[in-house]
Amino acid sequence: MPFSIVAGDITELSVDAIVNAANSQLAMGGGVCGAIFHKAGPLELQHACDSMAPVQTGDAVITPGFALPAKYIIHTVGPVYSPGQAAQCAQLLRSAYLSALDLAWENKCQSIAFPLISSGIFGYPKAEALDIAVTAIRDFLKDHDDLDVQLVMYDRTAYTVREELLEPVQRYVAGYYEGTDKISYEADVLYDLIPPHEADAEEIAQAPRVSYRRKPAKPRLGDLEHMISDLDEPFNTTLLRLIDAKGMTDAEVYKRANIDRRLFSKIRTGKGYLPSKRTILALAIALELNLDETDDLLARAGYTLSRSQKFDVIVQYFISTGYYDIYDINKVLFYYDQPLLGAS
Ligand code: APR
């Protein structure tokens, strides 16, 4: 997928470029910088860096990766955090990401991995650093195709998401498992099991988001031919119809879905290719479908939203509240150690 958050050690990644959280002198430091120098070969890397220092805060330079699996190292200089100059720090941190991305693009990289710049020794609060990183990357990817960007979290336990985004999801997920949301679950089950005329009228009236799914009668053998000739509209036809109805361009859809352009065109042509459930949910988010529309789109590919999987419950929360920012949703999914939305 074009953007993902991953856990791990950036020095082990076989990508075109890894980004170093550097200082202006491009001197070997601690943190991720120390790890990169050690693995790349400190002498060779320092020699290459010395010819390019100093580098202004917010700027970046590129060197070979030397002994690293990555082809290049892009050294970008984030700001030292100062609470009294928060706006200026935010601007410099954004610039550090964009400078590195520009360099990767100029050097024809197809994949790049970032650590969370400035969030260690330079003291940037992690949730804010994450927001700035993700927004800068998203903005860059709006005008650039075919670049995979990973944000690498070394210390999984220190990963945090802005409170206003996370807290309502935490409440929803906790409520779901503790039974706060049981009423809607029971209502659906009730409807699934008995026809509506047998259900209590008041229960039906009060039940939120109830759908009675008619169970198809068991087909007789003679009906089979008719049923096959009368299949529902296939997945990709429905998808194209929805895209038209929403008046979106293909590029808008695959970018908002965090899906690779090439994968999207494969889905579009539909020739025997069935996307994964995660990809379809990403498309549902991109198209801002409501829950019924999402259920319908999933069903056309043979999938369903489960009530017993955390991933599904979280995505369902965002869809039901009409919040369709896939980058924010992925921040929360990563927090819950769930797979992210987009192509696998
Ligand atoms: N892979 C990925 N991320 C890592 C790794 C690693 N191997 N090691 C550390 N990190 C993470 C930290 O957990 C932190 O979230 O990188 C993030 C950035 O932390 P720092 O490396 O401390 O970078 P920064 O805060 O930008 O400070 C830069 O530190 O090492 C010096 O020379 C560097 O002076 C510069 C300053």
Determine which of 74-83, 203-212, 334-343 has the lowest per-residue pLDDT on average. Answer: 203-212
pLDDT of residue 307: 84
Distance 116 CA to ligand 1 centre (A): 7
Report the distance separating Cα 36 and Cα 44, nearest Å: 12
Atom of ligand 1 nearest to the CA of 78: 26
CA dist 177 and 184 (Å) reads 13
Segment 232-242 shows an average pLDDT of 86
* 101 in Cβ contact with 149 (< 8 Å): yes
What pLDDT, in 10s, does the model give residues 105-150?
Answer: 999 999 999 999 999 999 999 999 999 999 999 999 999 999 999 9
Which residues, other chains included, contact 117 with Cβ-Cβ below 8 Å and sequence gap of 6+?
A: 19, 21, 76, 78, 93, 96, 97, 124, 129, 133
Residue nearest to atom 24 of ligand 1 (CA): 118
Residue with the smallest CA separation from ligand 1 atom 12 is 120
Task: Compute, in angstroms, the gap from residue 74 CA to the centroid of ligand 1.
Answer: 14
334 C-alpha vs ligand 1 centroid, how far in Å? 20
According to DSSP, the β-strands at 3-7 and 60-64 are unpaired
| Surface-to-core class of residue 208, CB atoms within 10 Å of its CB (0-12 exposed, 13-18 middle, 19+ buried) | exposed
Contact 137, 101 (CB under 8 A): yes
* In contact, 341 and 258? CB cutoff 8 Å: yes
Q: What residue's CA is closest to ligand 1, atom 7?
A: 9
Q: Which numbered atom of ligand 1 lies nearest the CA of 115?
A: 3
| pLDDT category of residue 228 using cuts at 50, 70 and 90 | low
Class of CATH domain 3-158:
alpha beta
Rounded Cα gap, residues 258 and 270, in angstroms: 19
186-199 per-position pLDDT tens digit: 333 333 333 334 44
Q: Domain locations in the chain?
A: 3-158, 164-223+233-335
Question: CA-CA distance, 34 to 48, in Å (whole number)?
Answer: 15
- Residue 119 Cα: closest atom of ligand 1: 25
Q: Which of 282, 276, 285, 324 is nearest to 303 (CA)?
A: 276
What is the pLDDT at residue 274?
A: 85
Q: How far is the CA of 121 from the centre of ligand 1 (A)?
A: 7
pLDDT of residue 190: 33
Q: For residue 60, list its beta bridge partners.
A: 76
Q: Give 122 Cα–ligand 1 centroid separation in angstroms.
A: 8
Give the atom of ligand 1 at the shortest distance from the alpha carbon of 10: 1
Total residues belonging to the chain = 344
pLDDT of residue 292: 94
Kindly tell me if the per-residue pLDDT of 103 is higher than 90.
yes
Cis peptide before 54 (omega within 30 of 0): yes
Residue nearest atom 35 in ligand 1 by C-alpha distance:
23
* β-strands 72-77, 60-64 pairing: antiparallel
* Nearest of 178, 265, 136 to residue 257 by alpha carbon: 265
Chain mean pLDDT for the chain: 88
Give the model's pLDDT for residue 183: 37
pLDDT in tens, 246-301: 999 999 999 999 999 999 999 988 777 889 999 999 999 999 999 999 999 999 99
Q: How far is the CA of 63 from the centre of ligand 1 (A)?
A: 18
Cα–Cα dist 48/45, whole Å: 5
pLDDT at 1: 78
8-state DSSP, 68: S
pLDDT attached to residue 236: 87
Pocket residues: Cβ below 6 A from ligand 1: 9-11, 21-23, 29-35, 78, 115-122, 152, 154-155
State which of 32, 82, 132 you would mutate to test the pocket of ligand 1, scoring each by most atoms of that ligand within 8 A of its C-beta.
32
How do 3-7 and 72-77 pair as beta strands?
unpaired
How large is the average pLDDT for residues 237-250?
A: 93
Q: Lowest mean pLDDT: which of 19-28, 34-43, 233-242, 317-326?
A: 233-242
User: From the CA of 338, how far away is ligand 1's center (Å)?
Assistant: 25
Instruction: Put residue 17 in one of left, alpha, beta given phi > 0 → left and psi -120 to 50 → alpha.
Output: beta
Give the rounded percent of residues in the chain with a pLDDT score beyond 90.
76
The pLDDT value recorded for residue 206 is: 54
Task: Kindly tell me the sign of the dihedral angle through the C-alpha atoms of 32, 38, 41, 45.
Answer: positive
Range among 230-234, 314-318, 340-344 with highest mean pLDDT value: 314-318
Distances (CA, A) of 111 to 19, 120, 139, 149, 228: 11, 24, 16, 6, 44
Span 21-44, mean pLDDT?
A: 98
Note the pTM of the prediction, 2 decimals: 0.86
CA 301/CA 304 separation, integer angstroms: 9
pLDDT in tens, 151-187: 999 999 999 999 999 999 999 998 877 654 443 433 3
